Amino acid sequence: MILLWLLIVPLVASPLAYVLRKRHFMEAVNLAAFAVLLCLAATLGVRALRSGPVSVWDGFFYADALSALVVLLSAFVALVCSIYAVGYFRHDESNGVFREGEELGGGPAINKLREYYALTPLFVFSMILVALANNLGILWVAIEGTTLASVFLVMFYGRETSLEAAWKYAIIGGVGLSMALFGTILTYYSAHQALGTDTLAGLNWSVLVGNASQFDKPTMRLAFILILLGYGTKAGIAPMHTWKPDAYSEAPIPGAAMLAAGVLNCALYGLVRFYILSAKCLGPGFASHLLILFGLLSMGVAVPFILVQKNFRRMLAYSSIDHSGIMVLALGFGGPLGVLGMLLHMTFHSITKPLLFFCAGNVQQQLKTDLFREAKGGLIHSMPLTGAAFLMVTLAVTGAPPFSLFLSEFTILRAGFSRGYLVLAVLFITFLVAIFSGFLIHIANMVLGPDPGLPPADNCRWKRSSVAGLALVIIVMGFWIPAPLFRLIQGAVGIVTSGR
């Protein structure tokens, strides 16, 4: 039953926010829905730990520890983003950002907000569905659903550049996902011969995983390549990453944060499910080499663009490309240690990334620009909280100790060394160091320095509480991972490495 509630809550919240019309009500609906969702997700996590996989409707929806982890992370990201969104859009409204859109026929501001508050729950619904769908075809439908629900978030501001970003996002995403669909069809075909079933269960992951060793191998090979390209496009790994900087810099901050921390997990989740099948069918070697190649390529592509970046919103996107590369690489290293590194990284990244976006959003709203050139430095004087949090989260996101992403990156490094990938591990460190220095120089230049005499900002209650609260979570997680969460991650590692 809990699986159905997880889906019903966001599905009800969407039309409810749409009909309520008043800003306060819409905000309240979103906040309440995502708070309930987080509680449900936590309950699901506990259930999955205690009594194994949960399923309803003959296994149509199915949640093991891996799904529960992704659901939990999605719900967490949705909640923190919705808290921040309240402050962010109120600021936008008082800044008169929507007025420009009104002249272009975008309608009054309240309509824009309605669009946001009604689409976000749908967006979250598709993310939850990705994790709960047992059927690999439904998984595909749900991932496509996340794209469709978020296209309007990308073109939210209705500027010419937003249209361009939304177009790229929709078309590149659409082509990528059609490859993933082809991969899904081929997986079905290769399983079809082994299982000989025509029923719905023939595409259920929980059924497939038991029989994966009998699948037709050449077909499965092609299927995995297509899946990697398809879901890789959605996760933004190079060379299919080109939509990412545009979409992330044009979407409103809460939407962009959900793309970066939520959809990324969903796409990688889809990839992991197929990785498990392919590892059982073909042995881990075939998938590993491809994953390592694409993972390192993504990290490598991110390096120069972060070093010479002119626009801090786009820099966040390259950081996201870098991180999805890290996770794909970790999966490629494989073994219990590599997978543990990947899932730890996914968890910590989902907690850290939203704060980076929130800080960038606060700075952008204060300066009304997203170019480093126009930020004169010394932001910490006018925005003490945001400035400090920005520096802290920069260190956290680039994997500096004592923050938790250091722990996961270190685990991945150990996995690389223990598997004998010496050269690749060294390359991994080099990329990390380059990104660390590039990131830190850019952000430090912007935050530190003499006071340029800007009026004090940082006085919105909602923005302050989301930034401070999330910063606290990140600091605490650096030193202490709650035991149930860690057990959930370990359970998920067990699923990836052994298939149950």
Which spans of this chain sit near another protein (rule: CB under 8 A)?
104-105, 135, 137-138, 140-141, 144-145, 148, 151-152, 155, 158, 160-161, 163-168, 170-171, 174-175, 178, 181-182, 185-186, 188-189, 192-193, 196, 198-200, 202-203, 216, 218-219, 222, 245-246, 249-250, 305, 314
Closest separation between CB of residue 314 and another protein, Å? 8
d(CA 245, CA 236) in angstroms, rounded, equals 10
d(CA 258, CA 80) in angstroms, rounded, equals 10
Contacts for 423 with CB less than 8 Å, ≥ 6 apart: none
Q: Which is nearer to another protein, 182 or 436 (CB)?
A: 182
* Cβ atoms < 10 Å from Cβ of 11: 17
d(CA 241, CA 123) in angstroms, rounded, equals 21
Q: Which is nearer to another protein, 43 or 178 (CB)?
A: 178
Q: How far is CA 223 from each of CA 21, 192, 228, 293, 313, rounded to the nearest angstrom?
A: 46, 14, 9, 18, 35
Helices 217-235, 264-282: axis angle to 10 degrees equals 160
Q: Which is nearer to another protein, 147 or 497 (CB)?
A: 147
Closest separation between CB of residue 28 and another protein, Å? 28
* Cβ atoms < 10 Å from Cβ of 441: 12
Q: 391: part of which helix (H) or strand (E)?
A: helix 384-397
Q: Which is nearer to another protein, 166 or 407 (CB)?
A: 166
Q: Which is nearer to another protein, 202 or 334 (CB)?
A: 202
Closest separation between CB of residue 471 and another protein, Å? 30
Q: Which is nearer to another protein, 122 or 492 (CB)?
A: 122
Distance of CA 435 to the CA centre of its chain: 19
Q: Which is nearer to another protein, 145 or 491 (CB)?
A: 145
Q: Which is nearer to another protein, 165 or 268 (CB)?
A: 165
**Tokens standing for residue 24:** 């306060």
> Please, is 280 exposed, middle or buried when counting C-beta atoms within 10 Å of its C-beta (0-12, 13-18, 19+)?
buried
Strand partners, 371: 311
Q: Which is nearer to another protein, 50 or 160 (CB)?
A: 160
- Identify the residue whose tokens are 């800007």: 454
d(CA 66, CA 71) in angstroms, rounded, equals 9
Q: Is 81 left (phi over 0), alpha (psi -120 to 50) or beta?
A: alpha
Q: Which is nearer to another protein, 27 or 250 (CB)?
A: 250
Closest separation between CB of residue 151 and another protein, Å? 5
Buried b (16+ CB within 10 A) or exposed e, 107-142: eebeebbbbbbbbbbbbbbbbbbbbbbbbbbbbbbb
d(CA 121, CA 124) in angstroms, rounded, equals 5
d(CA 496, CA 500) in angstroms, rounded, equals 8
- Identify the residue whose tokens are 């490859």: 179
* Cβ atoms < 10 Å from Cβ of 477: 20
